[in-house]
């Protein structure tokens, strides 16, 4: 794994470092910044993994600092880069702002964090809630408990022992964001659904949760670690298989259990966390059903920057001119499914530009649809097992919202004199 970890300023000067193995001279970090600058000058950009003289440099840039890990042997670069990302998040949660000044003000705590989060170059504890149980900050001073933390002797590193709630509840949200690009004649050029299963867990003790999705689920494993690709028959919609890709699980999921009987079994962290993410390609244009309603719909239509005297007429909602973004915005509080609405916009154009029509940005659409998922994913059961046998209430919500949802504008019309007229 990692031989050493460095925190550098924006000029490549080390602010703090931790040597875990001693197999690479610490002076080797001096080659990192020249190597990075050389790659940026010759290739325009630099990959997050660089190699020189038998040393592998893996780095992450945050604001005005660099987090860099060095390794000499064959290492899992993705694991180390993920560790650097978690290190950045932990620093941010401890110090609020991750920058050179906050690093200099908290040397003692950072050294302690580096020792607890990685052992001999292997990532260990990375959950801030657990780290804060025995590494605390007060006036830039370090307070260390004399007894070992409960999490250190527990079966999992992301949940501490002794948690108690008077009311035990679990909230599970399935949130899907639609990324869509549609051309002016209604053809879908590209589309995908980015999904996530998010949870809020308020349970006492050390519970085990088992999540079941659609009954006829078939998984095909590909790759290692926490990256699982679901390729066929994950969910069915009107008898057709939907192909899922890039599914990732939180580290709490028992992968051996998942591989043996396809059960998503886990001991959850306390509070908010993201259990699973997935991506699904959209192959055809579809409309949501009449019983569903889109809320807080915003349709942002770009117009020429020299427009004036706006006039609008719409069948529902309200329309306003937003000159600061050269657009008009049509807002609809609620938009029922299988229904059509219209808007007419009239602008004056004081100037006519030469050189042909300008290409305007696409129309952007914002919305959220509660109790609905485009993919058809369903939670069939959520079982909560805890040795004390208490009763817990599970709550499940489905939400679909916009991601990068855009519709390209039609080409401008042309009058007999050759003047280009905008068409909305």
| CATH code: domain of residue 357 | 2.60.40.1170
- 128 & 268 share domain: no
Summarised one tens digit per residue, pLDDT across range 363-411 is 999 999 998 888 888 888 889 988 888 889 889 999 999 998 888 877 6
- 43 & 140 share domain: yes
β strands within 20-165, DSSP E = 49-52, 55-62, 65-71, 118-119, 122-123, 135-138, 141-144
Residue 374 lies in a domain: no
- 117 & 210 share domain: no
- 239 & 125 share domain: no
Residue 213 lies in a domain: yes
- 55 & 149 share domain: yes
Nearest C-alpha neighbor of 252 from the set 271, 234, 273, 232: 273
SS3 content of the chain, % helix, strand, coil (to 5): 15, 40, 40
pLDDT at residue 155, rounded to an integer: 57
- 240 & 300 share domain: no
Query: Which pair of structure tokens corresponds to residue 17?
Result: 């470092």
- 188 & 328 share domain: no
Residue 161 lies in a domain: no
Domain count, the chain: 3
Place of tokens 């302690």: 112
Helix 77-95 / helix 107-117 crossing angle, nearest 10 deg: 140
Domain boundary among the residues 129, 153, 177 is at 153
Kindly state the DSSP code that residue 90 receives in the 8-state scheme: H
Alpha helices in 254-329 (DSSP H): 255-261
For the chain, which ranges sit under pLDDT 50? Answer: 139-153, 215-242, 284-286, 355, 414-424
- 218 & 302 share domain: no
CA distance 377 to 242: 10
pLDDT at residue 233, rounded to an integer: 33
CA distance 125 to 128: 8
pLDDT at residue 352, rounded to an integer: 59
- 216 & 126 share domain: no
Indicate the SS3 state at residue 82.
Answer: helix
Residue 351 lies in a domain: yes
Residue positions counted in the chain: 424
pLDDT at residue 222, rounded to an integer: 34
- 281 & 394 share domain: yes
pLDDT at residue 182, rounded to an integer: 86
Domain range holding 142?
4-153
CA distance 391 to 283: 43
Nearest C-alpha neighbor of 103 from the set 217, 232, 10: 10
Burial zone of 280 (CB within 10 Å; 0-12 exposed, 13-18 middle, 19+ buried): buried
The DSSP H or E segment spanning 112 is helix 107-117
pLDDT at residue 157, rounded to an integer: 76
CA distance 192 to 187: 14
- 113 & 22 share domain: yes
Summarised one tens digit per residue, pLDDT across range 169-191 is 999 999 999 998 888 887 888 88
Cβ neighbours around 299 below 10 Å, total: 22
Residue 88 lies in a domain: yes
Residue 164 lies in a domain: no
Cβ neighbours around 117 below 10 Å, total: 20
Alpha helices in 10-76 (DSSP H): 32-43
pLDDT at residue 225, rounded to an integer: 29
Contact status, residue 84 vs residue 118, Cβ threshold 8 Å: no
Nearest C-alpha neighbor of 54 from the set 67, 39, 35: 35
Residue 38 lies in a domain: yes
Distances (CA, A) of 71 to 18, 258, 407: 13, 32, 47
Residue 124 lies in a domain: yes
Place of tokens 């932990």: 90
Residue 127: φ, ψ to 5°: -90, 125
Contact status, residue 219 vs residue 234, Cβ threshold 8 Å: yes
HSE-up of residue 290 (Cα within 13 Å, Cβ side): 2
Instruction: Report the DSSP beta bridge partners of residue 280.
Output: 193, 244
Nearest C-alpha neighbor of 126 from the set 173, 172, 163, 79: 79
Q: CATH number of the domain that 50 lies in?
A: 3.30.450.60
Residues 6+ apart with CB under 8 A from 385: 207, 208, 209, 210
Cβ neighbours around 402 below 10 Å, total: 19
Burial zone of 202 (CB within 10 Å; 0-12 exposed, 13-18 middle, 19+ buried): middle
pLDDT at residue 388, rounded to an integer: 86
- 340 & 297 share domain: yes
Nearest C-alpha neighbor of 411 from the set 181, 182, 190, 184: 184
């Amino acid at each position: 794994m990692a031989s050493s970890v460095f925190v550098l300023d924006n000029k490549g000067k080390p602010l703090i470092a931790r040597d875990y193995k001693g197999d690479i001279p610490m002076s080797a970090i001096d080659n990192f910044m020249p190597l990075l600058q050389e790659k940026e000058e010759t290739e325009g950009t630099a990959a997050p993994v660089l190699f020189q003289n038998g040393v592998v440099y893996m780095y992450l840039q945050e604001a005005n600092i660099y987090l860099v890990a060095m390794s000499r042997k064959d290492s899992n670069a993705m694991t180390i880069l993920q560790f650097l990302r978690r290190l950045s998040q932990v620093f941010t949660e401890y110090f609020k702002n991750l920058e050179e000044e906050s690093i200099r003000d908290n040397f003692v705590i950072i050294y302690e964090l580096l020792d607890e989060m990685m052992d001999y170059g292997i990532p260990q504890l990375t959950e801030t809630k657990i780290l804060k149980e025995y590494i605390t900050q007060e006036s830039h001073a370090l307070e260390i408990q004399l007894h070992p933390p409960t999490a250190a002797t527990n079966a999992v590193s992301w949940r501490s022992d002794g948690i108690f709630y008077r009311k035990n509840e679990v909230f599970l949200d399935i949130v899907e964001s639609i990324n869509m690009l549609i051309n002016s004649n209604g053809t879908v050029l590209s589309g995908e659904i980015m999904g996530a299963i998010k949870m809020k867990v308020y349970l006492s003790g050390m519970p085990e949760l088992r999540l079941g999705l659609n009954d006829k689920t078939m998984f095909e494993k590909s790759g290692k670690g926490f990256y699982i690709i679901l390729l066929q028959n994950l969910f069915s919609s009107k008898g057709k298989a939907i192909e899922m890709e890039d599914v990732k699980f939180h580290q709490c999921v028992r992968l051996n259990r998942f591989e043996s009987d396809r059960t998503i079994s886990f001991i959850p962290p306390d509070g908010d966390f993201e259990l699973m993410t997935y991506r699904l390609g959209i192959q055809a244009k579809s409309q949501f059903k009449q019983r569903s309603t889109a809320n807080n719909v915003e349709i942002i239509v770009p117009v020429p920057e020299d427009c004036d005297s706006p006039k609008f007429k719409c069948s529902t909602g309200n329309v306003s001119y937003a000159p600061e973004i050269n657009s008009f915005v049509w807002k609809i509080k609620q938009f029922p499914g299988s229904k059509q609405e219209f808007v007419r916009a009239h602008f004056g154009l004081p100037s006519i530009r030469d050189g042909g029509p300008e290409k305007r940005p696409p129309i952007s659409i914002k919305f959220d649809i509660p109790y609905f998922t485009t993919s058809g994913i369903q939670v069939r059961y959520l079982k909560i097992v805890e040795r004390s046998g208490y009763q817990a209430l599970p709550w499940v919500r489905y939400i679909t919202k916009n991601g990068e949802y855009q519709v390209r504008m039609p080409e401008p019309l042309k009058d007999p004199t050759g003047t280009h007229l905008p068409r909305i």
